[in-house]
A and B are shown apart, each in its own frame.
Chain A
Amino acid sequence: MTVDHRQHHLDALRSSISVGLYPIQFLIDLPSTAGDWLQESFSSRRTLQEENARMHAQRLLLQARLQKFEALEAENLRLRELLDSSFKASDRVLIAELMSVDLDPYRHEVLLNKGKAHKVYVGQPLLDAFGVMGQIVEATPYTATAMLITDPAHAIPVQVNRNGLRSIVVGTGKLQELSLPYIPNSADIQAGDLLVTSGLGGRFPPGYPVAEVVAVTVDPGHAFAQITARPLSHLDRSREVLLVWPPAPRRPAIEPVDAGELDGPGEPGATDTGDAAPTDAAPTDASTEATAETVTDTPAASATPATPAPVETPPSAVEQEE
């Protein structure tokens, strides 16, 4: 057990056992897959036509938006060249499906029907149509386990879309709630703010929506404001999800620390500047947070509008480079 927890020598064993168990998982998933299939085959012509029409309309709408997006992308590229910063290509994605299989009820993990055979890797970001869902924590040949952002052992570096304020969003163990434990009382953040991935930590590509701030409670007795957010992705409803391969060559990632090592929200000492600690997106314990800070990849920071951070945040190394 210690070997499995601390090192990763047993991954091969786990993989081979899980291949043997795939039929069981497949069997359990079968009723819902078959249900979907039946529903599709027996839906009336009219329903299909309606759906088709709706999708046509939606496609038209999206394409119109895409035109604008392309123009914007070109403009963005041009401006970036002017600024001499690196260009980010769009990300490669793969659609995977959740298998309706229950895992440990005390963890927020889901099973996907794509695995190493489809080049899924540990630490890979997982999205749905509405935002970031989580990341892969375990990949076997035909399946992969993903940890959702609401798992209490998960943390993800984000940025407030409105003003670029950086922080970390931590899972709470409730499906509709996330918390931002490291934002000082005086920071400029309010209910309704959109939180997007900051790309710091190098695991999640920058600019994807994560959550929306629901409530900000400032209690002068506490060092940090109590902020809760609601995940934007449909964590309990999406069945189709997107696996993303971020384009930039990955630096040797910090070893995917085992999920279990985050014991609580971390001590205040490790997060001296509150919102300026760009930790690795992986669930890490407080001691590795400090090391993660020094190795974040720099170009990621310029992806989203980087207005000067609020006064009380000392500009981090990342910003000085710009």
Chain B
Amino acid sequence: MSALAQRHGGGIIFLSLIVALLLTIVPLPEDLRLLRPDWVLLVLIYWAMALPHRVGVGIGWIMGLINDVLTGMLLGQHALAYCLVIFLTLKLHQRLRLYPLWQQAQSVLVLLALGQLLLLWINGMIGRPIHSWLYWAPSVLGALLWPVLFVLLRGLRRAFRVV
């Protein structure tokens, strides 16, 4: 835990999360809207995996609340899903780090889908069921984009020495 003594590059984490939030609401053509991956969760998973002592369930919860307000969803819906996913990521982070990229992407797919399942469940409970199989597309797309995102964020982390 010597890393705690010298925290560095918190701004980069913050910035990456802000960019993820921007990507969450940037207007897309009607057909692509349904495919938009959950950028915030992807970025959170990366940071939780790479720096588990910096990004944890608390930050996941806050980002979830912000995401709820930003997209006009029930307050706490994303927060709960993000908490669960980040908790699992923290539990698995040592194993995840060792996987090759494609295998990591698979695990991320499971994590993303789990988060979406929770959201689907909550939406169903408040009377807004979603019947389309396309609902799961963002998870798949997110997992496909994971290698790119991982390399990108790792580059950022190394370049700015975020520890």
Contacts and interface: CB of A to CB of B under 8 A. Distances in A.
Interface of A: 1, 4-5, 10, 13-14, 17-18, 21, 24-25, 27-28, 32, 100-107, 109, 111, 138, 145, 152-153, 236, 258-263, 285
Contacts, number: 82
19 contacts: A1-B75, A1-B80, A5-B74, A13-B75, A18-B69, A21-B69, A25-B25, A28-B22, A28-B26, A100-B27, A101-B26, A102-B36, A104-B71, A106-B135, A107-B128, A145-B72, A153-B127, A260-B123, A260-B126
A18 B21 CA distance: 13
Nearest to A236: B30
Contacts of B30: 236
- Sort chain B's interface into a size bin: 20 to 34
B146 to A, nearest CB: 21
Interface in B115-151: 122-123, 126-128, 130, 135
Contacts of A101: 25-27
Contact of A105 (B33, B69, B75, B76): B33
Interface string B71-94: 111111100100000000000000
A138 B70 CA distance: 12
B15 to A, nearest CB: 13
B156 interface: no
Give 5 closest A-B pairs by Cβ, nearest first.
Answer: A260-B126, A260-B127, A1-B76, A105-B33, A4-B75
Given A1-B80, A24-B22, A28-B22, A102 B28 contact: yes
Nearest to A105: B33
Given A24-B22, A28-B22, A17 B27 contact: no
A24 B21 contact: yes
Given A4-B76, A21-B66, A103 B127 contact: no
B70 A106 contact: no
A17 B69 contact: yes
Contacts of A153: 127-128
B48 to A, nearest CB: 22
